[in-house]
Chain A
Amino acid sequence: MNAPQRDTMLLPTPFHSRVEAMCELNDWGNWMGYTTPNAYFDVELEYFAIRSTTGVFDLSPMNKYRITGPDAEAFLNRMVTRNVSKLGVNRVGYAVWCNDAGEVMDDGTIFRLGEQDFRLCSYQRADDWLHWCTLGFDVTISNESEDIAGLAVQGPTSCTVLKLLGCTDLDQLKPFGIAHFTFEGAPMMVSRTGFTGDLGYEVWVAPAQAEALWDQLFELGRDYLIKPIGSYALDIARIEAGFLQAHVDFVPSEEVVRNGRTRSPFELGLEWLVDFSKPLFNGRAALLAEKARGSRYRFAMLDIEGNKPAEHSFIMKGDKVVGTVTSAAWCPTVKSNLAYAQIEMPHGAVGDQLTAEIYYQRELHWTRLMAPCKVIDGPLFNPKRRRQTPAPPF
């Protein structure tokens, strides 16, 4: 009944008026049907705001589901591969979930807001799967995506800025912890989480408070060099920090059409998220079988010689193609040329020496580069401040 007047416009997020005002480059992208800035003023400077001051990213298009009821914990435990029982109230956990075949459907974060009260933030929409997952469980699921506005406030000065906003003792909040505050008389939730691998927080308010939150944050953060950041800068930070992205590093299993294109958690380097000590979860039988049989692929983080990003590269072992790159970036802080790759077993173990076939062009001149690379055992960027409690002032 309430069809929008214009058919095709991307939706505005609750921060849109402010985002639009600051988006000097007018460079927009589409995230979940929302107008999302690719870059505000300069991708590199935005990136360095995350690493040196504070970068603010509008998270509102994220899908958010509230899961409540007596079986909420059991429900999530059956759905995701990690053990949700171990997650305390006011704690956040990163999780992946699989279908029965042990193929990764999506990843996201679970916020435990109470004993029987959870919020699931997912990259993909999950209404359909959550519906089917409720069979047999006494839970209520509600889609809160449009009811909650979120900002990622990330970087060395982020804690200081948020304390100025009224987040008392925020420095005491441990990584993956949740704290509750009041903003303009309404609830404001802050979690020490993020997609940058740096000290950082995510701030969640009702859409009505969104514009005021943005305004005060930028007002109070001015002296701490707060900057808005777009998707491009965030992407560099997440690659540097070792985070996977759905649709880039794996295809959500329900969208896979071609045989063999799905990936298991093992094949994405996420075995640490699979807890076989809990009884039943989706994909358990298939993953146990895979564990016994061995996986087809290995997720490898590659440190590549030279400075040409290995986007879309084939990865060779000698003359043989053994894999392809899913994400690649020159990482400005660690000064490394990093890539994630899907490598066919048995190749790609840590320390394995491989070659990346890189194509790049300068002034329409294409060059093929065979760059030696090495499989490393984790992200090169991993600063102490990311984990420190109390969080350092800047």
Chain B
Amino acid sequence: MNQYDAIVIGAGHNGLTNGAYLAKAGLKVAVLERNPYIGGATVSRELHKGWYYSNCSYVASLLRPEITRDLELPRHGLQVVPFGGGATFMRNGDHLGSYSDHDRHYREIARHSKRDANAYDRYVSDTSRQTKLIRPYLLKTAPDPTSLKPRDLRDLVDFARSFTSMGEEGLLDTIKFWTGSVGDYLNEYFETDVLKAHLAGSGIIGTALGVYSPGTAYVLLHHYMGDVDGNVGAWGFARGGMGAIADALSKAFQSYGGDVICDANVDEIIVRDGQAKGVALKDGTEYHADIVVSNLDPKRTFLDITNPKDLPEDVLQKARNFKIRGSSGKLNIALDGLPIFNGLDPRSRLMAGDLHFSDSLERQERAYDDWKNGTWSKDPYLDMMIPSLTDPTMAPPGKHMMSVFVQYAPPKIEGRDWTDEDKDGFEKSVLDQISNYSPNFRDLILHCETRTPREIEAEVGLTEGNIFMGELTFDQLLFNRPFPGYAQYRGPIKGMYMCSSGTHPGGGVMAAPGANAAREILMDLKRPNTVPGGYADD
């Protein structure tokens, strides 16, 4: 009854994707989920009657279109609707809007600086060049530079070739970009504080680094890597909230004969004679399989659900040193109506985009200083959206749902655990930030769910509440993700695999780690591959 070919731990989007591809290859697969509901951080929850919260991840862009199509997710109910617009509100009452139309966007930046409006085009081309470099590797396993296997050597040569084709200066500029800070990078293009701040947000979201920390330029790139219908860098909402993605993946998985088992809290991976044999739940139930795939982050995988005696010392060491830092919080708010923002026509389509309230790099960096000092940002960087302006299913007609992503919130407050008072303080600093720019906002609040790293960790199981399941810094990317030597989805135990966002190519609702891991597993089983290759990026 409890015998499977493969068991996947965690019914987040990567676990379900992984399960779907294994099941599609004919394996008998169970995906086990600790919570009574699936989705992990890809959920929609009705926490206030009539309002659905995408209470963790809140926008879709990175979800690989190859996977969406191959698993027939649209047939299973998934609809991703792009949104446009956005704005950064300024302390002087003005704002910088973000328009999808090139000329309109030009005019908006030109209001602040003509030079910047012009330089923006150069910025877009230069950034696209970097994006194009990395996109082909999303649905591939990262080659191991320490390996001499023909496959790794071949991939490394391909990798090197795509870099060297840029020419000496192009390549050096790429290395500069990958190792530099988003602040320095933007300073090389722009003179306007608000524009730099507007763009820099993508360099710090989900990251325990500041805009002046080297390495954040790459994080910016990570947010530009996705696309909606071929529009690279575009973002959209899953209709019905992010849970719609998990639901569609789950249906696809089940259509291939897979079992989703909820309320199944894994205690330990069963290992016999160096071979994974299944999992034991906290309630004592056992599920058996020769393939066990962990969709938990690397710390939980190796430090929580694996017996240390089954692991080599270097893996334990690497897992302990793995950087997975809580740096973000989230507020989900049910609103009685549409808030009005200073200086912006409420009918403006900018309202349907992502709204921010930090108008300079300095304010963003100071927000990070608070995090370093072990407290939440007193002047936080917010990525705020009102998805109900795009998706009518999120709130009753005329009412609205607001999603507020907050940077920064530390995993611990000055070294101790979060208390409820801390949580209230955190909530207040976020609500104050929005109220500063919206006079009627506070009066519209019907319900507010506040999630600090404590809640995110407790409910979703992301260590420290880190949304990417591990910092997206170069030491933890590509062949270093999660750690050198284990970056090809295989764990140190035979039959044990990893498929979470803690593996290449990293976090965001991309589903690529799940798919890539499935390809490796099927290769080990000598089964035909069911995972699609990436579309050629022309």
Task: Contacts A125-B121, A128-B119 known; list 19 others, CB within 8 Å.
Answer: A2-B111, A3-B97, A3-B108, A7-B104, A8-B99, A8-B101, A10-B103, A33-B104, A125-B106, A125-B114, A127-B115, A127-B117, A127-B118, A127-B119, A254-B125, A255-B121, A257-B129, A259-B166, A259-B167
* Bound complex: CA A7 to CA B117 (Å): 17
* Bound complex: CA A125 to CA B114 (Å): 9
Are the CB atoms of B128 and A125 closer together than 8 Å?
no
Chain A residues with CB under 8 Å of B423's CB are none
A1 within 8 A of B: yes
Total chain A interface residues with beta-carbon distance under 8 A: 25
Contact partner, B118, options A1, A128, A256, Cβ 8 Å = A128
Are the CB atoms of A126 and B118 closer together than 8 Å?
yes
B165 within 8 A of A: yes
B107 within 8 A of A: yes
Chain B residues with CB under 8 Å of A382's CB are none
B349 within 8 A of A: yes
Given contacts A1-B94, A255-B125, A257-B128, contact A128 B103 (CB under 8 A): no
Q: Which of A305-328 contact B (CB under 8 A)?
A: none
Q: Can you name the residue of chain B whose Cβ is closest to the Cβ of A1?
A: B94
What's the nearest-Cβ distance from chain A to residue B331, in Å? 28
Given contacts A1-B94, A8-B101, A143-B114, contact A254 B122 (CB under 8 A): yes
Given contacts A2-B111, A131-B115, contact A259 B165 (CB under 8 A): yes
B132 within 8 A of A: yes
Are the CB atoms of B94 and A254 closer together than 8 Å?
no
Query: Chain B: interface residue count, which band?
Result: 20 to 34
Chain B residues with CB under 8 Å of A125's CB are 106, 114, 117-118, 121
A32 within 8 A of B: yes
What's the nearest-Cβ distance from chain A to residue B346, in Å? 13
Sample of 27 A–B contacts (CB below 8 Å): A3-B97, A3-B108, A3-B111, A3-B343, A7-B97, A7-B99, A7-B104, A7-B348, A7-B349, A8-B99, A10-B103, A11-B107, A33-B106, A33-B107, A125-B106, A125-B117, A126-B118, A127-B114, A128-B115, A128-B119, A131-B115, A254-B122, A255-B121, A255-B125, A257-B128, A259-B166, A259-B170
Chain A residues with CB under 8 Å of B349's CB are 7
Q: Which of A254-291 contact B (CB under 8 A)?
A: 254-259
Chain B residues with CB under 8 Å of A26's CB are none
* Bound complex: CA A4 to CA B94 (Å): 13
Chain B residues with CB under 8 Å of A85's CB are none
Chain A residues with CB under 8 Å of B101's CB are 8
Most A Cβ at <10 Å: residue of B106, B118, B167, B350 = B118
A172 within 8 A of B: no
Chain B residues with CB under 8 Å of A4's CB are 107
* Bound complex: CA A255 to CA B348 (Å): 30
Q: Can you name the residue of chain A whose Cβ is closest to the Cβ of B128?
A: A257
Chain A residues with CB under 8 Å of B122's CB are 128, 254
Chain A residues with CB under 8 Å of B119's CB are 127-128
- Chain B contact residues, CB within 8 Å of chain A: 94, 97, 99, 101, 103-104, 106-108, 111, 114-119, 121-122, 125, 128-129, 132, 165-167, 169-170, 343, 348-350
What's the nearest-Cβ distance from chain B to residue A30, in Å? 7
* Bound complex: CA A101 to CA B169 (Å): 10
Contact partner, B103, options A30, A131, A255, Cβ 8 Å = A30
Chain B residues with CB under 8 Å of A129's CB are 118
Contact partner, B125, options A101, A131, A257, Cβ 8 Å = A257
* Bound complex: CA A128 to CA B118 (Å): 6
The 8 closest A-B pairs by CB, nearest first: A33-B103, A128-B119, A127-B118, A128-B118, A125-B118, A127-B115, A257-B128, A254-B122
What's the nearest-Cβ distance from chain A to residue B290, in Å? 46
Contact partner, A257, options B132, B167, B343, Cβ 8 Å = B132
* Bound complex: CA A76 to CA B158 (Å): 43
* Bound complex: CA A259 to CA B121 (Å): 17
Are the CB atoms of A254 and B132 closer together than 8 Å?
no
* Bound complex: CA A8 to CA B128 (Å): 25
Chain B residues with CB under 8 Å of A131's CB are 115
* Bound complex: CA A255 to CA B350 (Å): 26
* Bound complex: CA A126 to CA B122 (Å): 11
What's the nearest-Cβ distance from chain B to residue A120, in Å? 14
What's the nearest-Cβ distance from chain A to residue B180, in Å? 19
Chain A residues with CB under 8 Å of B107's CB are 4, 11, 33
* Bound complex: CA A125 to CA B121 (Å): 10
Q: Can you name the residue of chain A whose Cβ is closest to the Cβ of B132?
A: A257
Q: Which of A114-144 contact B (CB under 8 A)?
A: 125-129, 131, 143
Chain B residues with CB under 8 Å of A33's CB are 103-104, 106-107
Chain A residues with CB under 8 Å of B104's CB are 7-8, 33
* Bound complex: CA A131 to CA B97 (Å): 24
Q: Which of A20-73 contact B (CB under 8 A)?
A: 30, 32-33
Chain B residues with CB under 8 Å of A7's CB are 97, 99, 104, 348-350
Are the CB atoms of A254 and B103 closer together than 8 Å?
no
Q: Can you name the residue of chain B whose Cβ is closest to the Cβ of A63?
A: B118
Q: Can you name the residue of chain B whose Cβ is closest to the Cβ of A4?
A: B107
Chain A residues with CB under 8 Å of B108's CB are 3
What's the nearest-Cβ distance from chain B to residue A359, in Å? 20
* Bound complex: CA A3 to CA B111 (Å): 8
What's the nearest-Cβ distance from chain A to residue B15, in Å? 35
What's the nearest-Cβ distance from chain A to residue B171, in Å? 11
Q: Can you name the residue of chain A whose Cβ is closest to the Cβ of B108?
A: A3
Most B Cβ at <10 Å: residue of A1, A3, A8, A10 = A3
* Bound complex: CA A257 to CA B132 (Å): 8
* Bound complex: CA A30 to CA B108 (Å): 17
What's the nearest-Cβ distance from chain B to residue A341, in Å? 21
What's the nearest-Cβ distance from chain A to residue B55, in Å? 31
Chain A residues with CB under 8 Å of B128's CB are 257
Chain B residues with CB under 8 Å of A128's CB are 115-116, 118-119, 122
What's the nearest-Cβ distance from chain B to residue A102, in Å? 13
Chain B residues with CB under 8 Å of A258's CB are 132
